[in-house]
Amino acid sequence: MRSALFIILLFLSMSFAQEQQSEADKRANLLGAVQVTTIHSLSEDKGSYKSPRRAMFMSLVLPGSGQLYVGGKQARYIRGIFYLAEEAALISGLYYHSIYRYDKQVKKYQNFAGEHFSIKEYEKAMNEIYDPIYYDDFKKLYGQERENYCKAFDRQLEAIEKCTNNFGKNPNYPNDNTKPHNSSAYYSAIASESFVLGWEDADAEDASRINSALEKGKYIPLGSSDYRDEYLSMRKKSKKLADSQAIFLGALILNHIVSAVDAVLSAKAHNNSLYENGVSFLDKIRLNSNFSIGENFKAEAGLGWAW
């Protein structure tokens, strides 16, 4: 009885082995050779393998760190230090020019306006020119910045409309005691030529000439002011400092990208130098395979690049 059972088990195991071998043969015929590698002798005194991906991400985060990670040659350390120094210089330049000097320049022209521009005098001067007959033309030609100016003092829509529509009609509002809540809109508005009469040294045009021009629908300057010209020069300088921010940010981004690319190339060059024989292009190609055994046999193959 035991002998018969042994013979039956032996027969079943042989059948199962043949079936597994048949399945293996089918897979081999289907996929062919999965991977072929070429082995080169490794020169250990040249260092260890460095990941190009890690080098790239390191330099993307902090330029130069990828080169220092790869190391191996003095030139890589020098380039790494250069990228780090350039990063520090660009960040310092961004802060100094686009933040420190810009803020200082803004305060300078704001203080200058506080000393030499009078809201009360501007409103009073515009009221003296105002003539109901030519009011529509007067508002059209000299009130382009009036709404933005009023928005600097009021938040309520009704108050803004009242201030805008009373252009030249109410010399008592706004006045020097009315503090703007929106300083950016205020300092931008008073730079307009229409606000020239608010400057302390304003040389006003004769009101009769202005009304004569309004009668014909023509525009003539309300006057001139050296203080306004100086104020415009200060604002222009602050704008240049603000624009430099984009230049510094662009240079910072470029430094990160260039350093990352250089780090990848450095890592690849370092890894190639570890082998006594150069690695060919074909040696870097890898065939990846994935087998899935379930209700249906499934095989997947993919082509990859070895870093």
pLDDT digits (tens, 9 = 90+) for 241-296: 999 889 999 999 999 999 999 999 999 999 888 875 454 443 343 334 333 434 44
Q: Which domain holds residue 283?
A: 33-46+276-307
Assess if residue 120 is contained within a domain: yes
User: Does residue 173 contact residue 123 with C-beta atoms inside 8 Å?
Assistant: yes
Q: What percent of the chain has pLDDT above 70?
A: 72
Same-domain pairing of 149 and 189: yes
- For residue 49, give every residue at least 6 positions away whose Cβ sits within 8 Å of its Cβ, in sequence order, or none: 271, 274
0.85 exceeded by pTM: no
Domain boundary among 224, 244, 264: 244
> Would the pLDDT of 111 be above 80?
yes
Q: Cβ of 73: how many Cβ atoms within 10 Å? A: 15
- pLDDT tens for each residue of 25-50: 544 454 444 444 444 455 555 568 89
Same-domain pairing of 191 and 149: yes
Same-domain pairing of 179 and 292: no
User: Does residue 116 contact residue 227 with C-beta atoms inside 8 Å?
Assistant: yes
Same-domain pairing of 134 and 230: yes
Residues 135, 214: Cα–Cα separation, whole Å:
9
Assess if residue 15 is contained within a domain: no
Same-domain pairing of 148 and 240: yes
**Counted domains in the chain:** 2
Same-domain pairing of 307 and 230: no
Q: How high does pLDDT run on average in the chain? A: 77
Strand, helix or coil for residue 174: coil
Residues 84, 255: Cα–Cα separation, whole Å:
9
Same-domain pairing of 112 and 240: yes
Assess if residue 57 is contained within a domain: no
Same-domain pairing of 129 and 207: yes
Identify residue 284 by its one-letter amino acid code. K
Assess if residue 85 is contained within a domain: no
- pLDDT tens for each residue of 46-104: 568 899 999 999 999 999 999 999 988 888 999 999 999 999 999 999 999 989 999 99
Assess if residue 261 is contained within a domain: no
Same-domain pairing of 217 and 294: no
User: Does residue 237 contact residue 105 with C-beta atoms inside 8 Å?
Assistant: yes
Give the single-character DSSP code of 280: P
User: Does residue 188 contact residue 137 with C-beta atoms inside 8 Å?
Assistant: no
Assess if residue 260 is contained within a domain: no
Q: Cβ of 101: how many Cβ atoms within 10 Å? A: 16
Helices (H), the chain: 2-31, 52-61, 65-70, 74-93, 102-116, 119-129, 135-142, 146-151, 157-165, 183-189, 207-215, 226-273
Same-domain pairing of 128 and 235: yes
Same-domain pairing of 198 and 286: no
- For residue 179, give every residue at least 6 positions away whose Cβ sits within 8 Å of its Cβ, in sequence order, or none: 153
Assess if residue 92 is contained within a domain: no
Assess if residue 262 is contained within a domain: no
Q: Cβ of 110: how many Cβ atoms within 10 Å? A: 17
